[in-house]
Structure 1
Amino acid sequence: MTSDVDTNHSVLAPKTPMPSSTENNEKDHAVIILASGLSQRLGQSKQLLSKHGEPLICYMTKIALATKPLAVIVVIPQDQPEIADVIHGLVRQNTTIHSVINLIPKTGMAHSLSLGIDALITPKISLMNRVLIMGVDQVLLDTDHLTALFAAKSTVVASSYQCLDEASSTDTSKNNIVGLPIVIDVECLKQWQPALIGDKGLRHLIRALPSNQLSTVINHQLSYDIDTPKQLFYARQQRWLD
């Protein structure tokens, strides 16, 4: 599953029609795509699963590009030439995209995020107000959800969705998850960076936020990610993946 926070603090997404991603505000943000997982439970690279005839990592990168960011940083694992080739193909097509190699992907998601933050230290950083952080395996993520995240103005705006882990079904505190994708003020993200260790740093940091700095957008479609062969089989049954 994606790295998440267990909480019931959430607000409903607006019911009024949302503007398309092409109507997003000026280019004042960057995107970090955490795509350096080794997919050990799945048994194959989730980044290379196919959606609408293209690798899932390409599909997700294009969703990120639809928000019109200043930069898209894609963190990928070392020694995965097929993933690297796919991303390098995108980089050649769009100079907004930059790839970062995680030399120690087993370390966890927090390390990947720290690498992504390092990659944002460019002349453009002074123009960035916020950063969108997302993964690659929430197969029903769409641009409307990202637009809703950017529409909120809290320090951190996270996604909220139902926990589908059967082992947690009797624990009401885990019925809703708050996690990726999130939009965060860039200054807050830089302050968080030293605490990003292993796979739990982001969850702990979000939990520590006062309620007036955190808001959420509910989207239960994000509950469906791809970590296991069973989840992959179900996603293909539903035609969410090729």
Structure 2
Amino acid sequence: MRPPGLPPFSVVVLAAGGSSRLGMPKQLVRLDGEPLVCRAARLAHESGARSVLIVTGGSRETVEEALGGASVRLAFNAGWAEGPGTSLRTGLEALLADPSRPRDEPAVLMLCDQPFVTAEHLRALVEHVARGHPAAASEYGGESGFGVPAAFAAELLPELLALNAQQGAKPVLMRHRERLALVPFPAGLVDVDTPADLERLGLSRP
């Protein structure tokens, strides 16, 4: 249920990667027994999102099977291997095609392999956009900069759609840097790329 005062918003979970360095689908790596893609979907719902959309690509069948009866929409990116921008575009096109979506609804972009994201953090991003910021990003701390998860006002979604296949959302965030809200999230730098990451983070294989 969406907290009082928080506007309707949607969450797009980018979960289309091929996990070539990991050697197994990172979407299915487990934290406390829960696949990361399922965890991302659950946290998106717990944040109060009106709609949760999962972009699949590599390991599509097993990822969709893991999601099972989760209350999510699915969008398959056939060109996932061409770059992260293709998944971003696939997700946003599916989001904008939703006839139930309010035209001024913000969107949150998140990855499925940032294991320390919380529902509270996602809500905080949306709250900043609701207060008038064009976007709100996760601040990693020090010289590490900022990035996703990030929330975007509806008027920025066309800019995200215009990115090329090799680009993530960072160019749009940089373009609006002067009015960008930053929400501290130092654990946002932690992701799952190699087998060594599994042991270091206490994760288990699918």
2:126 corresponds, among 150, 154, 157, to 150
Corresponding letter in the other structure for 2:136: V
Contact between 1:74 and 1:98, CA under 8 Å: does it hold in 2?
A: yes
Report the equivalent of 1:34.
14
**2:197 corresponds to 1:231:** yes
Q: How many residues align?
A: 200
Distance 2:104 2:51 in 1: 10
What SS does structure 2 have at the residue aligned with 1:147? helix
Matches within 5 A, 1:32-111: 32-78=12-58, 80-87=60-67, 89-91=68-70, 94=71, 97-111=72-86
Distance 1:104 1:68, change over 3 A: same
What SS does structure 1 have at the residue aligned with 2:193? coil
Report the equivalent of 1:129.
105
Corresponding letter in the other structure for 1:47: Q
Corresponding letter in the other structure for 2:153: D
Report the equivalent of 1:6.
none
Distance 1:190 1:24 in 2: 28
**2:188 corresponds to 1:209:** no
RMSD of Structure 2 on Structure 1 (CA):
2.0
Contact between 2:89 and 2:160, CA under 8 Å: does it hold in 1?
A: no
Deviating runs (4+, > 6 A) in structure 1? none
Matches within 5 A, 1:185-224: 185-194=153-162, 196-212=163-179, 214-224=180-190
Distance 1:62 1:201 in 2: 23
Task: Report which of the two structures shows the higher radius of gyration computed on alpha carbons.
Answer: 1
Distance 2:190 2:33 in 1: 20
Distance 1:69 1:108, change over 3 A: same
Report the equivalent of 1:119.
94
Report the equivalent of 1:181.
149
Corresponding letter in the other structure for 1:160: E
Comparing both chains, which one has the higher relative contact order based on Cα–Cα distances under 8 Å and sequence gaps of 6 or more?
1
Q: Deviations over 1:31-82 (max 9, x none)?
A: 1000001111111111000112121110110000112222111001155321
Stretches of structure 2 lacking an aligned partner (at least 5 in a row): none
Distance 1:24 1:110 in 2: 33
Q: Percent identity?
A: 26
**2:3 corresponds to 1:23:** yes
What SS does structure 2 have at the residue aligned with 1:182? strand
Q: Deviations over 1:74-114 (max 9, x none)?
A: 00115532112123x134xx2xx101111121111111011
Give the C-alpha shift of residue 129 in structure 1: 2.0
Stretches of structure 1 lacking an aligned partner (at least 5 in a row): 1-20, 164-174
Distance 1:176 1:112 in 2: 24
Distance 2:54 2:24 in 1: 19
> TM-score if structure 1 supplies the norm length?
0.76
Distance 2:81 2:2 in 1: 36
Distance 1:45 1:24 in 2: 37
Give the C-alpha shift of residue 188 in structure 1: 1.0
Corresponding letter in the other structure for 1:179: G
Contact between 1:24 and 1:68, CA under 8 Å: does it hold in 2?
A: no
Q: Deviations over 1:15-40 (max 9, x none)?
A: xxxxxx85254551111000001111
Q: Deviations over 1:193-225 (max 9, x none)?
A: 12x21232522222222402x111111122211
Contact between 2:18 and 2:59, CA under 8 Å: does it hold in 1?
A: no
